[in-house]
Structure 1
Amino acid sequence: MASRRQHIQRPNSQFNLKLYAHIHLHSFFASLGRLARAPFNFMMTVGVIAITLSLPAGMLVSIENLKAVSGQIDFTHNISIFLNHTVSLDKAKLLAKKIEKSTKVSKTKLIDKQAALEEFRQYSGFGSALSSLGENPLPHVIQVSPVLSFNNPAALKSLVLELRLQPDIKLVQMDMSWLERLNAILNIAQRGVTLITILLAIAVLLIVSNTIRLELQSRRDEIDTTRLVGATHAFIRRPFVYSGFWYGLLGGIGACLLVTLSLWLLDGPTNALSTLYNSPFNLSYMSFNSILFWLLLSILLGVIGSWVVVTRHLNQLEQ
C-alpha cells in the first residue's frame, strides 16, 4: 500500500515542478514582451542605468591602467651616487667596480666630474660663469642599475640605505618620490571610486524602484483583479521582479559597452603617446571577471529594487 501511495505521489510532484518552471518561464519572457511594447520608456530607463554604472566602471578601469603605467616604469639608472670632492678618479673607478660586484646591482656607470662639467656647460647656458670658477665644483657621480629583483620601490630603498654606508660617498639620490605620490593618489582614487559606486548603486535602486512603481500604478486594475481571484503575492510580484531583472541585465550590458567604446576611442591616441615615449604600454580593456561583476551587480540591483517596491505596494493593499 505504501509503495502504491508513493507511486501515485511521484507524478504529482513532477507535474508541480513542471508547472512551477512553466509559470516562471512564462513570466520571464512575458515581462520582456511587455517592456518591449513600450520601447521608448524601456530604453530610456536602461540608458540611464547604463550611464550611471558606466561611470564607476570606467573609473576603475582607468585606475587599473594608471597602475599598470606606474608598474612599467623603468627604474634603470634611477640611483645616483655623488662622491666627495676629495675622491680621485682612480678611487672613484675602484668604488664603482666594488659596487658593481654586489648581487643587488646589475651594472654601474661612472661619470667623472670633468665630463659632467662639460655637459653642464653645454646645456645650462652658464659657460662664462663656470669659466670664472677656479676649480670644478662638481663631484664624480656613479649611476647604479639594480637587478630586476630589486626593481621595485621597497627594494630600491633598502639598496639606497646600503649604498649610503659605503665610504667616500656624500649623497645617494633616488628620485622616486613622485611615483610614491602617484601610487598614494591612485589608492585614494580607488577608495573614492568605491564610495561613488555605492552611491550610484543606490541611485540605480531608486531608478528601478520608481520605474516599477509607475508600472504598478498603470496595472493597478489588473493587480486588483488577480487578487480577487486568489492570486498570491508571489504570483503578482513575479512579473515585476523579472522586469527588474531585464532592466538590470540590459543596463549592465549597456554600461560595459559604453566603457569598452570609450576605451576603444582612447586606444589610438594612447598607442601614439606610448610610441613617443618608447613605451610598450597598451590600454587594458575590461576583463571577463570585471564584466561579470558589473552584470551581476546590475541584475542584483534591478531585482532588489523591483522586489522591495512591489512587496511594499502589496502590503499597503492588504492594510
Structure 2
Amino acid sequence: MDYVRFGSTGLEVSRLCLGCMTYGVPERGPHPWTLGEDAARPLIRQALDAGINFFDTANTYSDGTSEEIVGRALLDFVKREDVVIATKAYNRMRPGPNGAGLSRKALFAEIDNSLRRLGTDYVDLYQIHRWDYYTPIEETLEALNDIVKAGKARYIGASSMYAWQFSKALYTSYLNGWTPFVSMQDHLNLLYREEEREMLPLCADQGIAVIPWSPLARGRLTRDWNATSEREKTDVYSRQLYEATADADRAIVEAVAAIAKARNVSRAQVALAWVLQKEEVTSPIIGASKPQHLDDAVAALSLELTDQEVDALEAPYVPHPIAGHE
C-alpha cells in the first residue's frame, strides 16, 4: 500500500479509502443492499490487512448504523491512532426542525451523535455532505472551527458542490482565521468528468486533497452494459446520475472492457487506474461488498495505463448534466 500526504496537511493516508456506505443494517435507511455487521467485519479486516488506514462513512448511512458497525470493527481490530476515520453531516437524521442541515445547532448535535456511534473521542476528518443553501456559510464554518478547537475533529472537508461555492468557503475561512477545508469529496469517474472543468484545478491550486466518490460509477464500469446487480435494482440515485447520457456512457463501458481483456485484468482495475492516475486525486473512495472488490482495488494501484489506453477511455465522453451536488 502506498501512503500520501492529505493535500497540504501533514496527515498521511492510504492511497485507497474504504467507503463504508456498503455497511449498515439493511432495514434501516434507504439502502436495502447494505451488508450487516457479520458480513462487513471480514471486509473491514481485509482492508486493514491490505494497508488501508482511511475509512469514510456518514451519519446518514443506514440511519447511523454504518458508523456503529465501522466504529466497533475498528475498535476491535486496530489502535485508534493507526487509522484515519472520516464522517459527514448534512442530511436529515430526524424529523422536525433542526434535524438536518449545517446550522450551528445541527452540527453540534451531529458531531456528538457520530462520535457516540463510532465509539471514539474524535474523528480525523469531519465533512459537510453537501452545500446548505439555507444556512449562511459563515455560520457553518465558525461552527466547524469550534468543533476542531474542541478536539472533536482534527480536520474538516467538504463534498460535492460547485467550485464557486467551495472557493467562497475557503476564502471566508481565510478572512476570519477559521480552520479551512482541507479536502473535497467529489463525484469523479470515467462516466462523469465534469469536475475536471473547475473543481479539480481549484483543488490543485489550493493544495486540497481530492477523495472522489463512486470512482467505478456505482459498478457500471465493472460489468457488461446490460448486466445489473442487486444494488442497481433498488438504487434510484444511480439512475439519476447516469441515465441522461446512456449512449455515450455505453461506449466508455465497452472501452473499459476491451482494455481489461487485452491486459488480462478486471474492468474494475482499469476504471480505478484511470482515476488514480489523475494527479489531483489523493485517495479514491472504494466500495467493497466482496473480497474481490478489495483485491481489484489494490491491484489497480500498480496498473499503469498507456497514453493510447487513456485516449481510448476518454474519447467517447460527452458533457454531462451536473450530478451529485444536490
- Structure 1-normalised TM-score? 0.20
User: Which structure's residues are more often helix, by fraction?
Assistant: 1
* Higher relative contact order structure (alpha carbons within 8 Å, sequence separation ≥ 6): 1
- Structure 2-normalised TM-score? 0.19
User: Which structure's residues are more often strand, by fraction?
Assistant: 2
